[in-house]
């Protein structure tokens, strides 16, 4: 007997197979295509995406997951949530206003952008304030009609749930969330009623904010919202969709009057399955079972997945089970088919969006009693995975041995900071309030072209090296002339701070087309850790040693830290992230040693991404921070007492991890704070942080050249909390996205500001 199990998708990547979505956007922004042509191109892309899912045989195809920029921004403008500075007078939000909110305009700065939960996708933060919402247009309805008329698809509209929308918004006190929800409920209901009238069957209401933890008042709010909604639209089947973590307490969600609940059975640490087994499944609900990893690029193990389905089927009848990815497929590239350079054993172990949808169909068929075809394809999957697992570079004895021995390595520097700092002062003899930069200098078109020529073989290694050396020499001369105290080589040889190391470490591979959206039209192509990571040969020594040979001032060696390398890569899923971080840390430990052996005795190990790996649930923070800090220490704690370890982070929300930052035990840390000075300084006020610290004194994200006076004030404000003896003066991040002209002018002013403050503190 066969049972047809329903399959569903939660969201499809927007960017297109060849990033045609990105290209269309950028062409429109630059004025190369008209609004009308742009809209036509977008419609074409949207249709293709629907058809790909149709071809994969997915039963519930999402609509309204497609957007021109960001789905949270879509939700905001749909409800008229447009900040006052944009001079908006109600009604449908014009396209250019929509983009102005995302990207800024001549008359008003952009809305804030921040990370979507623990992903590298960024959404536009809605600014609600006191405005009264209105339904300016019904986007899900339009998307539903589009799919129906253009592709004959009975789509499943996706909307951001009210609870999550409010949790992600700003402009009102958290204590007033209930009142704000009451203001929004009528327009949410209006939207859903229009869908109901249209004859829509299923609606997916995304409520990922649920997984970050539910306080009693959160549960009350959910009850109010869903009570009101479900009473108003009895004809719709509502799926309350969660993802990225376990939805706890599941008891509370099961009581909500919705027809289906979607749970993530991949990133839940087993808690969702455990809860279903403990509580059983209510007879009146469907379960959206997120069984295929929406965040990884790997083919699923069919036997493990069939086992999971079987466990779920013990509690949920097959005709109430919906098989789906664990989250939207927005976080993975479109298709493996575009990859032509990977070796077969690796390529066949990959699954991007299209391949994941095919996996779902296959699992649904196999679990529902199957057909002969499914059995053959399952066998193929098993073989592919077996071949991949057997690759020798994935099971290196030497790497395993080193990781085993890692626990026996000393956990700290040989001297505590209070003692080694004296030796470092004696060695380095830096002035009060030393000035430095974060590492990179402008990556001009010339630098990028040179690298391209070298990559294409137009330039040989020697020619490219000579070019990089010239850049380094010019940067050193300039820094000396500006009067900076601690110099950098400028990172001209690096495109990207993770890719550069990935290309030089064992265990990495690079896709040709594995792009994912980061924000707006900006896409990234994360390198892939597919095997054991290990040191092969020095990666940065050549450039650092050359730079140091040109000056008597110290030049910092410059590395990317283990946690950042991990967090900005796609990572193999057969080892824990902690385990992979250890492998990277050990490889970097070699590099740090190589730098020190070569006479580089100030070494900066950047960890800008340490904050974003923080788990969504507060109770998991400690475990993560423990291994993250440990990885950093393994990479750095074996240096001489006099060697000065620096680190850099680009984030300002550190209040919840200041203890961990201190535990990293870097001698000097620089932090990006110029846009939120007050807050971060307050964080340091409460903690007695005794190590060197550079709070960025100007914002490098804008071409504006800050005045001396402005930076002087920034420094003086910081010195009210921090000791002048521990303070460093630097911009708030690397300068690679800036031009030379503004960089030079800003640094000149920064050095002058430092001199002013030194005088006052002398």
Active site residues: 701
Consult the annotation and say whether 167 binds a ligand.
no
Q: What is the signed CA dihedral for 617, 621, 627, 630, rounded to 10 degrees?
A: 160
Q: Which residues contact Zn ion (rule: CB under 5 A)?
A: 608, 650, 733
Residue nearest to ligand GLN (CB): 734
Site string for ligand GLN, 621-660 (x = CB under 6 A): ---------------------------x-x----------
Q: What is the signed CA dihedral for 605, 609, 610, 612, rounded to 10 degrees?
A: 180
Q: Is 700 in the site for ligand GLN (CB under 6 A)?
A: no
Q: How far is the CB of 651 from ligand GLN (least distance, A)?
A: 9
53 binds, among Zn ion, ligand GLN, none (CB under 5 to 8 A by kind): none
Cβ closest to ligand GLN, residue 294 vs residue 439: 439
Cβ closest to ligand GLN, residue 155 vs residue 734: 734
Distance CA(469)–CA(647), nearest Å, equals 25
Q: How far is the CB of 733 from ligand GLN (least distance, A)?
A: 5
In SS3 terms, 511-523 reads as CCCCCEEEECCEE
Cis peptide, bond prior to residue 249, ω within 30 of zero: yes
Q: Are 412 and 665 in contact (CB under 8 A)?
A: yes
Enumerate residues 6+ apart whose C-beta is below 8 A from 448: 495
Alpha carbons within 13 angstroms on the beta-carbon side of residue 549 total: 10
Cα–Cα–Cα angle for 597, 603, 609, nearest 5°?
135
Q: How far is the CB of 740 from ligand GLN (least distance, A)?
A: 15
Q: Are 588 and 562 in contact (CB under 8 A)?
A: yes
> What token pair was written down for 390?
């057997």
Consult the annotation and say whether 22 binds a ligand.
yes
Question: Of these, 497, 603, 693, 757, which contacts ligand GLN (CB under 6 A)?
Answer: 497
CA dist list (Å): 751 to 384, 387, 489, 703, 712: 59, 58, 18, 18, 10
CA dist list (Å): 7 to 291, 296, 353: 11, 19, 14
Cβ closest to ligand GLN, residue 434 vs residue 608: 608
The helix (H) or strand (E) run that includes residue 290 is: strand 286-292
Distance CA(64)–CA(10), nearest Å, equals 10
189 binds, among ligand GLN, Zn ion, none (CB under 5 to 8 A by kind): none
> What token pair was written down for 37?
């042509």
Q: How far is the CB of 560 from ligand GLN (least distance, A)?
A: 8
Residue nearest to Zn ion (CB): 650
Distance CA(492)–CA(443), nearest Å, equals 7
Q: Is 440 in the site for ligand GLN (CB under 6 A)?
A: yes
736 binds, among Zn ion, ligand GLN, none (CB under 5 to 8 A by kind): ligand GLN
Under rule CB under 6 A, which residues in 310-339 are in contact with ligand GLN?
Answer: none
Q: Which residue, 705, 695, 700, is CA-closest to 748?
A: 705
Consult the annotation and say whether 111 binds a ligand.
no
267 binds, among ligand GLN, Zn ion, none (CB under 5 to 8 A by kind): none
Q: Is 606 in the site for ligand GLN (CB under 6 A)?
A: yes
Cβ closest to ligand GLN, residue 366 vs residue 484: 484
Consult the annotation and say whether 489 binds a ligand.
no
Q: Are 108 and 100 in contact (CB under 8 A)?
A: yes
Q: How far is the CB of 491 from ligand GLN (least distance, A)?
A: 6
Q: Which residue, 161, 262, 268, is CA-closest to 218?
A: 161
Cβ closest to Zn ion, residue 41 vs residue 436: 436
The site that binds ligand GLN (CB under 6 A) totals a number of residues, namely 13
Q: What strand order describes the sheet that includes 202-206?
A: 6-7, 321-325, 286-292, 260-264, 237-241, 202-206, 156-160, 62-63
Q: Which residue, 186, 71, 166, is CA-closest to 520?
A: 71
Q: Are 533 and 352 in contact (CB under 8 A)?
A: no
558 binds, among ligand GLN, Zn ion, none (CB under 5 to 8 A by kind): ligand GLN
Q: Is 439 in the site for ligand GLN (CB under 6 A)?
A: yes
Q: How far is the CB of 564 from Zn ion (least distance, A)?
A: 10
Under rule CB under 6 A, which residues in 719-738 are in contact with ligand GLN?
Answer: 733-734, 736
Consult the annotation and say whether 19 binds a ligand.
yes
520 binds, among ligand GLN, Zn ion, none (CB under 5 to 8 A by kind): none
Consult the annotation and say whether 523 binds a ligand.
yes
Consult the annotation and say whether 733 binds a ligand.
yes
Cα–Cα–Cα angle for 211, 216, 220, nearest 5°?
90
Q: Is 438 in the site for ligand GLN (CB under 6 A)?
A: yes
Q: How far is the CB of 203 from Zn ion (least distance, A)?
A: 41
Which residues of this protein are in contact with ligand GLN, per CB under 6 A? 438-440, 491, 497, 558, 606, 608, 648, 650, 733-734, 736
**From the annotation, which residues make up the binding site for 5-methyltetrahydropteroyltri-L-glutamate?**
19-22, 115, 120, 522-523, 568, 612
**From the annotation, which residues make up the binding site?**
19-22, 115, 120, 438-440, 491, 522-523, 568, 606, 612, 648, 650, 672, 733
**From the annotation, which residues make up the binding site for L-homocysteine?**
438-440, 491, 606
């Amino acid at each position: 007997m066969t049972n047809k199990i329903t399959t569903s998708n939660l969201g499809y990547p927007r960017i297109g197979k060849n990033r045609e979505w990105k290209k269309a956007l950028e062409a429109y922004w630059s004025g190369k295509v008209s609004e009308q042509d742009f809209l036509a191109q977008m419609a074409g892309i949207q249709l293709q995406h629907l058809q790909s899912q149709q071809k994969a045989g997915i039963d519930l195809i999402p609509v309204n997951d497609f957007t021109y920029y960001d789905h949270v921004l879509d939700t905001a403008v749909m409800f008229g949530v447009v900040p006052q500075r944009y001079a908006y007078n109600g009604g449908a939000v014009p396209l250019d206003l929509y983009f102005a909110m995302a990207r800024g305009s001549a008359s008003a700065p952009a809305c804030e952008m921040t990370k979507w939960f623990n992903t590298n996708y960024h959404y536009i933060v809605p600014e609600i304030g006191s405005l009264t919402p209105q339904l300016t247009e019904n986007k899900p309805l339009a998307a539903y009609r589009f799919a129906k008329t253009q592709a004959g698809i009975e789509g499943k509209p996706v909307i951001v749930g009210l609870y999550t929308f409010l949790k992600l918004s700003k402009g009102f006190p958290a204590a007033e969330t209930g009142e704000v929800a009451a203001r929004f409920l009528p327009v949410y209901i209006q939207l859903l009623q229009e869908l109901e009238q249209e004859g829509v069957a299923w609606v997916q209401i995304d409520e990922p904010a649920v997984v970050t933890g539910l306080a009693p008042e959160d549960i009350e709010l959910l009850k109010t919202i869903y009570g009101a909604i479900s009473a108003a639209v009895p004809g719709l089947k509502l799926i309350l969709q969660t993802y990225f973590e376990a939805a706890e307490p599941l008891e509370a969600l099961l009581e909500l009057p919705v027809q289906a609940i979607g749970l993530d059975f991949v990133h839940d640490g087993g808690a969702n399955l455990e809860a279903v087994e403990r509580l059983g499944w209510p007879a009146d609900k469907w379960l959206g079972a997120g069984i295929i990893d929406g965040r990884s690029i790997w083919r699923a193990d069919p036997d493990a997945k069939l086992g999971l389905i079987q466990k779920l089927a013990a509690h949920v009848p097959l005709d109430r089970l919906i098989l789906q990815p664990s989250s939207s497929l927005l976080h993975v590239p479109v298709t493996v088919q575009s990859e032509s350079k990977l070796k077969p054993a690796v390529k066949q172990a990959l699954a991007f969006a299209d391949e994941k949808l095919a996996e779902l169909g296959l699992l649904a068929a196999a679990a529902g009693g199957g057909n002969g075809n499914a059995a053959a394809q399952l066998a193929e999957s098993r073989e592919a995975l077996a071949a991949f697992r057997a690759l020798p570079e994935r099971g290196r004895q030497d790497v395993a041995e080193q990781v085993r021995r890692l626990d026996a390595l000393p956990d700290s520097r040989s001297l505590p900071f209070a003692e080694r700092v004296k030796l470092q002062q004696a060695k380095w003899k830096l002035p009060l309030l030393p000035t430095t930069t974060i590492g990179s200098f402008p990556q001009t078109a010339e630098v990028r072209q040179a690298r391209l020529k070298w990559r294409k073989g137009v330039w040989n290694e020697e020619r490219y090296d000579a070019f990089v050396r010239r850049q380094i020499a010019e940067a050193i001369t300039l820094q000396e002339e500006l009067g900076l105290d601690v110099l950098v080589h400028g990172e001209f040889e690096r495109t990207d701070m993770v890719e550069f190391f990935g290309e030089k470490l064992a265990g990495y591979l690079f896709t040709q087309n594995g792009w994912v959206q980061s924000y707006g039209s900006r896409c990234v192509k994360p390198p892939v850790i597919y095997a054991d990571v290990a040191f092969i040969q020095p990666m940065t020594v050549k450039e650092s040693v050359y730079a140091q040979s040109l000056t008597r001032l110290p030049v910092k060696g410059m590395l990317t830290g283990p946690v950042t390398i991990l967090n900005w890569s796609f990572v193999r899923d057969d080892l824990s992230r902690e385990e992979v971080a250890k492998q990277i840390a050990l490889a970097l430990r070699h590099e740090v040693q190589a730098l020190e052996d070569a006479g580089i005795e100030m070494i900066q190990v950047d960890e800008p991404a340490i904050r974003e790996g923080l788990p969504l649930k507060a109770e998991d923070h400690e475990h993560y921070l423990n291994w993250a800090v440990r990885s950093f220490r393994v990479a750095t704690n074996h240096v001489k007492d006099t060697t000065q370890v620096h680190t850099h982070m680009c984030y300002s929300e550190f209040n919840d991890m200041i203890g961990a930052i201190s535990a990293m035990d870097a001698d000097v840390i620089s932090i990006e704070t110029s846009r939120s000075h007050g807050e971060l300084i307050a964080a340091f006020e409460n903690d007695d942080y005794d190590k060197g610290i550079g709070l960025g004194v100007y914002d490098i994200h804008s071409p504006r050249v800050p005045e001396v006076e402005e930076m002087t004030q920034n420094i003086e404000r910081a010195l009210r909390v921090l000791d002048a003896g521990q303070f460093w003066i630097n911009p708030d991040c690397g300068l690679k996205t800036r031009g030379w002209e503004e960089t030079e002018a800003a640094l000149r002013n920064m050095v002058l500001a430092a001199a002013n403050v030194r005088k006052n503190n002398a």
